[in-house]
Amino acid sequence: MSDFDTHLTDILSQIETEGLMKRERAVTSPQSAHIDVAGREMLNLCANNYLGLADDARLIAAAKGALDSHGFGMASVRFICGTGELHAALEKRLATFLGMEEAITFAACFDANGAVFEPLFSAEDAIISDALNHASIIDGIRLSKAKRYRFANCDMDDLEQQLKTARADGARFIVIATDGVFSMDGTLAKLRDIRALADQHEALLMVDDCHATGFIGPKGAGTPAHCGVKADILTGTLGKALGGAIGGYIAASKQVVALLRQRARPYLFSNALPPMVCAAGIAALDIVETGDDLRAKLFENTAYWRNALETAGFQTLPGEHPIVPVMLGDARLAQDMAARLDALGVYVSGFFFPVVPKGKARIRTQMNASLTTDDLDRAAAAFAQAGRETGAL
């Protein structure tokens, strides 16, 4: 083994010793409420498949149709010869759906967040970021030359303090960056308060709405719509509620999108989305726009599931989002619970430090519209049994 490989082996064994090794298991069925894993049927409570569209026949048909009509790949970035009619159509649909002037698509929201700050904000400007923002926002901010400020998660007093500090430091433009929904806790950003502070201090508002688009707010238009405010810049994904495949976007004013098409590096130097993904994205938006029944089922499931967990004696975090964290505290206990649940046919994921603070280990469950009441009763019984067996209850 080379010195370098020995060095990496040391790091890997340290990860193993700390109990932090993540293991991947192959799912052999389509993504759904019920999945096959290593020959076993399991109930899946940890996908971002909020509306159950990942195996939806209409999305599959749209993707197959586009494969036949538009081929497999673009073999180009957008500005050379990678822009197809379906890219333009998807971007237009996204902008309309989100109530924004224009939209621009990326290979993923990770890329969209990596793309958005650097071309728009320079050394004279300031970015004020929520402490619990997604890794891709943090990385995107690092790529920009703007001055960086951070406020404690959802702490409006701290945000106001940071706004004042950025102004006092002479910032030209200030942008506040926040997740619409914080994915470890399932809590919504206080966008009404944040928008008011932004207006008061003449700052812009950027919201990453990955865990909301499609199911939070009227017609699933997202957290800003839910809070009755407008974001100046909205980023999001096709990889969660909108079918769960791949693809990200930024929606904003004409000028913002026009400049991003000229300067955003993940857009200029990375391949265009496959036509089938664009076609299925449009089909997903068609379903979502008329999907009040799916959203009703999702939130009915969420209320039922929260109640079942709390009745069994588990501690959850308060909220209405389909992310329902079961708080266990101890990392080992979270892992034991996840392992017991696995044996009982329930697929969940334990989260512990460094993903969440020390002592706040949890199992993050996520509801979706395809789960039935029977599924949830079965899952609740498994949680209760695993809770008794591991001492969590």
Ligand X SMILES: *Cc1c(COP(=O)(O)O)cnc(C)c1O
Report phi then psi at 14, rounded to 5.
-65, -45
Q: Give the residue carrying structure tokens 């402490």.
A: 131
Residue 70 sits at φ, ψ, to 5 deg, of -125, 5
How many whole angstroms separate alpha carbon 222 and alpha carbon 207? 10
Report how many residues bind ligand X under the rule CB under 6 A.
14
Token pair for residue 67? 């494969």
User: Looking at 208, 232, 336, 375, which residue binds ligand X (CB under 6 A)?
Assistant: 208
* CA dist., res. 36 & res. 39, Å (int): 6
Q: Is 49 in the site for ligand X (CB under 6 A)?
A: no
Q: Does 29 participate in catalysis according to the annotation?
A: no
Which residue among 108, 229, 273, 346 contacts ligand X (CB under 6 A)?
108
Interface characters, 130-169, with ligand X (x: CB under 6 A): ----x-x---------------------------------
Nearer to ligand X, 133 or 335 (CB): 133
H or E segment at 126?
A: strand 126-130
Edge-first strand listing for the sheet containing 248-252: 102-106, 248-252, 233-237, 204-208, 174-179, 126-130, 147-151
The single residue listed with the structure tokens 């969420």 is 302
Establish whether 76 is a catalytic residue: no
CA 290 to CA 354: how far, in whole Å?
39
106 in Cβ contact with 249 (< 8 Å):
yes
Selected from 93, 211, 297, 360, the binder of ligand X by CB under 6 A is 211
Q: Does 364 bind ligand X (CB under 6 A)?
A: no
From the CB of residue 165, how many other CB atoms can be counted at a distance below 10 Å?
14
| Given the residues 183, 201, 297, 360, the one annotated as active site | 183
Angle at 384 between CA 22 and CA 307, to 5 degrees: 100
211 is catalytic: yes
Q: Give the active site residue among 240, 297, 321, 360.
A: 240
Residue 179 engages ligand X in binding (rule: CB under 6 A):
yes
| CB of 166 or CB of 282, closer to ligand X | 282
237 part of the interface to ligand X, by CB under 6 A:
yes
Q: How far is the CB of 45 from ligand X (least distance, A)?
A: 17
185 binds ligand X (CB under 6 A): no
Q: Hey, what's the torsion of the CAs at 339, 340, 342, 344, to 10 degrees?
A: 170
> Binder to ligand X among 66, 132, 206, 210 (CB under 6 A)?
210
110 near ligand X, rule: CB under 6 A: yes
Interface with ligand X, residue 105, by CB under 6 A: no
Among 140, 248, 275, 281, binds ligand X (CB under 6 A): 248
What residues are annotated to the active site?
Answer: 183, 211, 240
Residues engaged in binding ligand X (CB under 6 A) = 108-110, 113, 134, 136, 179, 183, 208, 210-211, 237, 239, 248
